[in-house]
Structure 1
């Protein structure tokens, strides 16, 4: 749990810093705005223009260019424009520098709650518990490790990662029935993915003493329909072909399987069995050739 809380505290500090930074700069921004408004000369210019136009109207009236009725109308229009300009230049009062600071603790709490909810909804809490169990069993005897993971899988029956940790222990110890049950549970949780179907076919194949039963063949067909290059299934088909002395077919399957494996260890293992199959194939051809010659 320590890494989780370290992450939460780091996230909280980051969010508080991002909120505090603009608040820290608020005083400077407010002072700059007040200085700008104090130096604003728009109103003074509008008044100067108004006085110039009013003087022009009074001069026109004095010279008889307009009558008093026209003078009154034009002055009324001039006054109205001055008021409109002054109103449009009006500004809302600036907020206090302290405004919004009460949001800081609220947002901090929301960040913590949101982080915990998200962590729980995405399965992080379960995965962390599983990780702690795995770490505690790292140096335990195989049976103790198996029993611990079985107990955790029962506690987290809906967590596919718990079953995925359990499967290789059953597989490597030759407990094919248990391995099959684990894979079937994984398929229930994650759907009929080609990799899971391929492993299920492989376990059923070995449980049936390396026999390609109808059930196994159905799983093979389904897997290859979803992924024609699925290496686990191709490797298993190569084993079946090899067991029935179809060495060329086994070689072809294993070469196709090599293209699907990403790890070097699997590729090296396939090269070795391909070499064995090639030797068997060559020996078979020599035997067939010798028999034909003797006849």
Structure 2
């Protein structure tokens, strides 16, 4: 933290210099202004112009071109104009160069205090401390998971309103088998972050396993709330797939696991669900699917450089294969991120969302690639997308089909 505050001090130095710099030139500027005012002949020039115009008016009157009434009106207008010009040139006396110098240190102190106060209020000092603790424990050969939890708990006591400290503690509690503490951390996180679908899903899953894989009323309420906000929430769908599998409803389990895979970011979790699908298929007496086997499409996805600034590296990318007629559910769905682009993917039956809609059932497919800036499964204005029509379904070893994300959803 010392280095951080030192960096802030270095950044403040230019700002303080800009406040002091005008004082160094105050004497030079005052002398220049005084010389200008002493040599200014604008007033004399205005009087000379007035006299020339008045003489012209008098000559016009003497020649009979204007009468006495018109002469008086024009003369009054000239005098009024002269008064306006001279009044505009009236100047207040120049102040001494030392005038106002005391305000500069006051403003400098106020700037430093305001900057520190603003950072304390809006900055990420607490997050930096959490990161520092995590790094120090990881780099300490004698440190352990209980040590990390203890130090994070100390931070939770110091900054209870920082959601990142609870976000760091929750998985540690969960992986340590401390379900009650994990539940409390998630509950606090929900209070701070709002009832986000992924948080509701994590809490539902935690309580589901804590209750011995029983779908209690409390768990069901969390599931319903999460799915109402996000029907494709993968954690909830994965848990519901487990519930269906244990009840012997293997077709429902397969359907829920496929839908969960379509929305997952974690490849390991997706592979575990695919293995569960194969087990469920075996129990149904059908030939299990093998990811990467059978006909499919090899696709290379890239993002148009002109749209690169519209989405962050963590933005979700959906690669979807559909039948050309648009009559079936998605035939295959693969999920990646903008940070992985450009990338080459293989879509096959292992990426299907429903048993009745697979790539192996069609000869051609329509590829749609969408960057979900909002993270939602449904297209939203501002999302980026690209597509290819009538792509042949064949051996995945063939040359990849190029799809460029080059359009914006209006």
TM category (shorter chain) comes to 0.7 to 0.9
What do the CA deviations read for 1:203-251 (whole angstroms, capped 9, x no partner)? 1111122222222111100111122222211121122223333333223
Q: What does residue 197 of structure 2 align with?
A: 194
Following superposition, the deviation at residue 15 of structure 1 comes to 1.5
Kindly indicate whether the alpha-carbon contact (under 8 Å) linking 1:194 and 1:226 is maintained by their aligned counterparts in 2.
yes
Kindly indicate whether the alpha-carbon contact (under 8 Å) linking 1:247 and 1:278 is maintained by their aligned counterparts in 2.
no
1: distance between equivalents of 2:84 and 2:277?
Answer: 98
What do the CA deviations read for 1:240-284 (whole angstroms, capped 9, x no partner)? 22333333322322222233333xxx1343134324423531452
Matching residue within 174, 177, 185 for 1:174: 177
Q: What does residue 108 of structure 1 align with?
A: 108
Matched, 1:267 2:270: no
Kindly indicate whether the alpha-carbon contact (under 8 Å) linking 1:149 and 1:162 is maintained by their aligned counterparts in 2.
yes
Kindly indicate whether the alpha-carbon contact (under 8 Å) linking 2:250 and 2:284 is maintained by their aligned counterparts in 1.
no
CA RMSD across the alignment: 3.7
Matching residue within 248, 260, 271 for 2:251: 248
TM-score, with structure 1 as normaliser: 0.76
Matching residue within 129, 149, 153 for 1:150: 153
Matched, 1:218 2:221: yes
Matched, 1:238 2:241: yes
Following superposition, the deviation at residue 41 of structure 1 comes to 4.7
Matched, 1:280 2:280: yes
Runs of 5+ in structure 1 lacking a partner? 288-295
TM-score, with structure 2 as normaliser: 0.57
1: distance between equivalents of 2:217 and 2:60?
Answer: 113
Larger deviation, residues 205-214 vs 127-136 = 127-136
What do the CA deviations read for 1:14-71 (whole angstroms, capped 9, x no partner)? 321333455556666656656665665542332223433565677789x797xxx99x
2: distance between equivalents of 1:74 and 1:198?
Answer: 88
Runs of 5+ in structure 2 lacking a partner? 288-410
Instruction: Specify the structure having the higher radius of gyration (Cα).
Output: 1
When residues 132 and 95 of structure 1 are mapped into structure 2, their CA distance, relative to the original with a 3 A threshold, is same
State the secondary structure of the residue aligned to 1:229.
Answer: coil
Kindly indicate whether the alpha-carbon contact (under 8 Å) linking 1:163 and 1:182 is maintained by their aligned counterparts in 2.
yes
Matched, 1:257 2:260: yes
Larger deviation, residues 208-217 vs 99-108 = 99-108
1: distance between equivalents of 2:49 and 2:123?
Answer: 71
State the secondary structure of the residue aligned to 1:157.
Answer: coil
Following superposition, the deviation at residue 201 of structure 1 comes to 0.5
Following superposition, the deviation at residue 5 of structure 1 comes to 1.0
Larger helix proportion of the pair: 1
